[in-house]
Amino acid sequence: MVKIICPSMMCADYDFLKEEVSELDCAGADIFHIDIMDGSFVPNFGMGPQDVRCIRKNTDKPVDVHLMIENPGNYIELFADLGADIIYMHPEADKHPARTLGKIKAAGKSAGIAINPGTSIETIGELLPLTDYVMVMTVNPGFAGQKYLGFVNNKIEKLIKLKQEYGFKIMADGAISPAKVKELSDMGVDGFILGTSALFGKGEDYKTIIERLKK
């Protein structure tokens, strides 16, 4: 199975964001992952519209936005217009998650659900027919540098069975090391959001790292 490699741009060097995008693009990154945080749904602030605009301008690869914000349905048009190809929302943050997923589809974008470690599959089951990507958070969202929460593997196993029925792709986000890429890929996970555990700040060029991970 070909692994989908998604650099988490929150971990990139902001002083050289344009250059980082170009280097990662040439290195074989598949999707550029952008965390949007509002300081309310998660206790941190992340990237913003200006960062989406910059990244979108400097790559032809798909761009996703992970909306860790309250009432994400109010911002679908904004991020769709900025050029996001995939938009993730957290069902817990939205009073009408099915309507929000419909908005994403109506904008011609791929709809994604992000599942926190404490969110059960049973609570989002009715949304899966509307979903193109399910991103499993393997840490509590909001900060880089956390430890992988092993209990989420049970959830991943359930999703792998369900994806055969619904056709969505499973992505993993949070403390994804090279060893986790192999382990989860063998289980059936399709893609990986990579930050400091596997990609950034490693003292090697991105091309070398990404080629090794894809093997």
Catalytic residues: 35, 173
Rounded Cα distance, 80 and 210, in Å: 28
Phi/psi class of residue 155: alpha, beta or left (left: φ > 0; alpha: ψ in -120 to 50)?
Answer: alpha
Rounded Cα distance, 33 and 87, in Å: 10
Rounded Cα distance, 122 and 147, in Å: 25
**Cβ(34)–Cβ(53) below 8 Å:** no
Phi/psi class of residue 24: alpha, beta or left (left: φ > 0; alpha: ψ in -120 to 50)?
Answer: alpha
**Cβ(75)–Cβ(65) below 8 Å:** no
